[in-house]
Structure 1
Amino acid sequence: MTDLLSPMLLPDSSWVRRSAHRLWLAAQGRRLLRFGAASRMTGGFGALGVDGTLPDGAEADGILTARMVHAFSMGALQGIPGCLPLVRHGVEALLGPLHDARHGGWFEVASAPENRKQAYLHAFVALAGSSATLLGVEGGKRLLDLATGVLENHYWSEDEGVMRESFARDWSDEENYRGANANMHSTEACLALADITTDGKWLDRAARIVHRFVHEIAGAHEHCMPEHFDRNWTLLRDYNRDKPTDPLRPYGMTPGHFSEWAHLTLKVEAALLRKTGTAPGWMLPDARALLASALRYGWAPDGKPGMVYTIDWDHKVHVPVRAHWVQAESVTAAVNLLKRTGSGEYEVWYRRIWDYIANTLIDYDQGSWRNEVDADGHLSGEVYADKADLYHAYQATVAPFLPLAPCLTLALRESDIV
């Protein structure tokens, strides 16, 4: 069973049914791809400056390179010229200078090989490998095999049903930490691996991660998502209190991640339905509750539009800047719940968030989206100083017209969207 019938639940007036809306999203997606192509550099892809050029001293970044492989794979699967060579470039980089030939795994930057190996990075490498393999790019299957081996041998904790967090370069010195962020992106990677490798264990793992974090942890916290734990699963309430703008592990809670977990939960549900015809009954209610909490505590809490970066344990704004990815994941959660339920409240939010993105984040002069703005919509750099990469924004332009399962790349290959 798939959710291919879910568009039948859409109201006749839904933007998703309108050809003008489809064409607008397609145009935005093409602009993102054109802008992102400039991030190609020797050894992979680097972070672009606000003007869309690589700054002096830019280095190829492992996370960005893996994300670019995935994003340009989606473009290539849609038949957009220019994307395939960029996928090949990224795969070569991930099999070359960004790969640790001595110990296995990947570097975030090749110039700092002694930095810790994070599950967050490796989840994106696995996603990139799955996308390149589906596209049939040379080296894609090798990248996929290497990445799945690393996840299997080092990160996956069978007893806990989650991914371990990080290690030293030689896989010693496991970090005393369990984090929601790396496991969230590992859920997406596991869903893609399940579809591309056809190995059902990856879907089982995605379901176990979601059960732990969404049903158990967020369910015990009013469907808000605490992110930081030690290896004994003690909640670290003061973690990074002195680093409130950390880009991966900020203090407090991140409403944008509530949204992201919401639509990932729907995708796990759809994948289970597609495979077995059944899924746990808590998945849809929990997904709805997660997005409700994100909007209740994160959207315009200071009276100004947009979803804030973080909130504290009293659900008050802690870091008020509006990051691009937070809005992208929230609009995706809204449309996926709209497709899943047909409820008009999600159409309202889908339109509201896109209006905010269109009027505040899209940079019509220099390209792409502004990575971060303040409450008044002015360019900010408290958390993210460079220009947004493709991953979150581009997926937001294609997800509205695709089913919840299979994974985005396979759905794109099987569909014909504008």
Structure 2
Amino acid sequence: MTGDAGTERAEVLDRSVAPNGPAAGRLPALHVAWLTGQSLELLRFGRGFEHPDGGAAYLGVDGTPDLSAPVHTWITARMAHVYGLAALAGVPGSRPLAQAAFDGLRVRLADGRHGGWLRGIDSSGEPLERGAKSCYDHAFVLLAASTALVAGLEGAGETLDRVVDVMLRRFWDDASGMCVDTWDRAWTELDPYRGVNANMHAVEAFLAVGDALDDAAWYDRAARIASRVITVAAEHDWRIPEHYDAEWQPQLDLNDDNRADQFKPYGATVGHGLEWSRLLVQLAVVRAPVEAQRFVPAAVALFDRAVADGWGVDGREGFVYTTDWSGVPVVRTRMHWVAAEAVGAAWALHDATGDDRFLDLYGAWWDYIARNLVDAEHGSWHHELSERNEPTADVWPGKPDVYHAFQATLIPRLPRRPGLARSVAGGELR
């Protein structure tokens, strides 16, 4: 998809089908084939994730499991979700892998003493962070259990019931319409930190469980979270404050001394503006027309801010990781997940609005991914590039999982829907 976008975009995608029509009507056959090839390659790369003790091992650059690294709940849940989707899509060999990852969640990573799920288990068999319980991890367990239910995996119904109970009793704060962040292992002390990252993944999970259970209450909760994030983002020129105190007051300087923190980086995270943009479009599908009319314009505003702040702003292709509150780049590293969310958001907004400019960016960003991120030697995508677009590992060593990249290869081939699993199960994936 290189060359002059103005002349090539008509050749790249057929835009004659109305938004939210069959995705296949707007994708040329070879582009569908290329996306399918990427999906299958990502699944091939990740298939060695099984840890001999249960759960998903952390994968190295070549896909070799690092058995000295902890088994993380979020990685295990993501792999259960990905291979659950692959099983629904009929990819041979995927169902046993999905079940293996899901069993790791059900058995090894679940806290049999106090309930809920541990953050992970280290190489000596001890719980990470003294068994602390995080909304981030539970959101991914909820997502995995929702996909598992649709895919008919063993234990899915019982596990989904358990994580729903924990999410509603421990993390969902109905008064604020948001999720709290972290408890101690015994659920006796709630950390005063509040975070938008966990809430963003809660929105994704809430949409998925609402879809899996046909329960609109989950859409309502997702909408409440999204509405609050939209409001505060608009107050900050559509840059999303990520960190808050217990009263939900933004903490704009948090981690100023640790700016590239893996989960709590300082400043505005460009990729989250893009990810929220896509989620708002998905949420708009299930909300009343008046509310949907709010979500799509907000999605456009978040997208435009992220692109203006992040894409190629230092003279080279790629999205910078973070900026300060005036849009000046802080961490210039290029993360693979940001590019993955960018193509998903661009396609979702093109689908929702019919605006060709999103289509142009969609094509340009797949070009960037193909040139810079797809690892032809070792497989999967490089998870992190330097500002010169050279592989590096300053923030994320190895290639822990395939979740972001895999979903990016599916979203353009599916109709808009709150969750992915039901559409794949319905045979709507091209």
State if a TM-score over 0.5 links the two structures.
Answer: yes
The Cα shift of 1:38 comes to: 1.1
| Match of residue 49 from structure 2 | 39
1:285 counterpart letter in structure 2: P
Letter in 2 for 1:279: E
Write the distance in 2 (CA, Å) between the matches of 1:234 and 1:416: 42
State which of 321, 324, 328 in structure 1 corresponds to 2:336: 324
Match of 1:170 among 186, 195, 198: 186
Distance of 2:253 and 2:18 partners within structure 1 = 46
Contact 2:16 2:26 in 1 (8 A): no
Q: Please state how far the C-alpha of 1:284 moved relative to its aligned partner.
A: 1.1
Alignment of 1:19-418 (within 5 A): 19-42=29-52, 43-110=54-121, 111-112=126-127, 114-214=130-230, 216-272=231-287, 279-418=291-430
Q: Which amino acid aligns with 1:300?
A: G
Question: How far is 1:115 from its partner?
Answer: 3.5
Q: 1:16 to 1:53 in 2, by over 3 A?
A: farther
Secondary structure at the counterpart of residue 279 of structure 1: helix
CA drift of 1:415 comes to 2.9
Q: 1:226-271: CA deviations, max 9, x gaps?
A: 1011011221111011211111110001010000001101111112
Report % sequence identity.
Answer: 38
Q: Is the 8 A contact 1:32 1:390 kept in 2?
A: yes
Q: By how many angstroms is 1:54 displaced? A: 1.5
* TM-fit CA distance, 1:281: 2.3
Q: Distance in 1 between matches of 2:246 and 2:19?
A: 43
Aligned residues: 408
* AA partner of residue 46 (structure 2): G
Report the Cα distance in structure 1 between the residues aligned to 2:409 and 2:196, rounded to whole angstroms: 25
Amino acid of the structure 2 residue aligned with 1:250: P
- Given the superposition, is the C-alpha separation of residues 26 and 291 from structure 1 closer, same or farther in structure 2, using an over 3 Å criterion? same
The answer to which of 278-287 and 399-408 deviates more is 278-287
In structure 1, the gaps of 5 or more residues are none
- Does the C-alpha gap of structure 1 residues 16 and 248 become closer, same or farther in structure 2, counting only changes over 3 Å? farther
Letter in structure 1 aligned against 2:272: H
Name the SS of the counterpart of 2:330 in structure 1. Answer: strand
**How far apart are the structure 1 equivalents of 2:270 and 2:308?**
9
Secondary structure of the equivalent of 2:409? Answer: helix
Does the C-alpha gap of structure 1 residues 6 and 185 become closer, same or farther in structure 2, counting only changes over 3 Å? farther
Q: For residue 420 of structure 2, what is the amino acid of its counterpart?
A: L
Per-residue deviation at 1:56? 4.7
Give distance in 1, aligned partners of 2:268 and 2:233. Answer: 11
Shift of 1:16: 4.4
Give the superposition deviation at 1:342. Answer: 1.1
| CA distance in 2: counterparts of 1:129 and 1:397, whole angstroms | 21
Identify the range of structure 1 (241-250 vs 20-29) with the bigger mean alpha-carbon deviation: 241-250
- One-letter amino acid of the counterpart of residue 187, structure 2: W
Q: Distance in 2 between matches of 1:87 and 1:143?
A: 14
Runs of 4+ in structure 1 off by over 6 angstroms are none
Distance (Å, rounded) in 1 between the aligned partners of 2:361 and 2:326: 24
Describe the shift of the 1:61–1:7 C-alpha distance in structure 2 as closer, same or farther (beyond 3 A): farther
Calculate the aligned-residue CA RMSD, in Å.
1.8
One-letter amino acid of the structure 1 residue matched with residue 331 of structure 2: V
| Cα distance in structure 1, aligned partners of 2:216 and 2:428 | 27
Q: CA deviation at 1:173?
A: 1.3
Cα shift at 1:48 = 0.8
The amino acid that maps onto 1:176 is P
Superposition deviation, residue 7 in structure 1: 4.6
Contact 2:316–2:388 under 8 Å retained in 1: yes
Greater shift, 252-261 or 192-201, is seen at: 192-201
**Take 1:6 and 1:256, find their aligned partners in 2: how far apart are those partners?**
30
Separation in 2, partners of 1:7, 1:294:
28
Change (3 A) 1:312 1:10: same
| Aligned position for 2:4 | none
SS in 1 for 2:298: helix
| Gap change, CA 1:22 and 1:84, over 3 Å in 2 | same
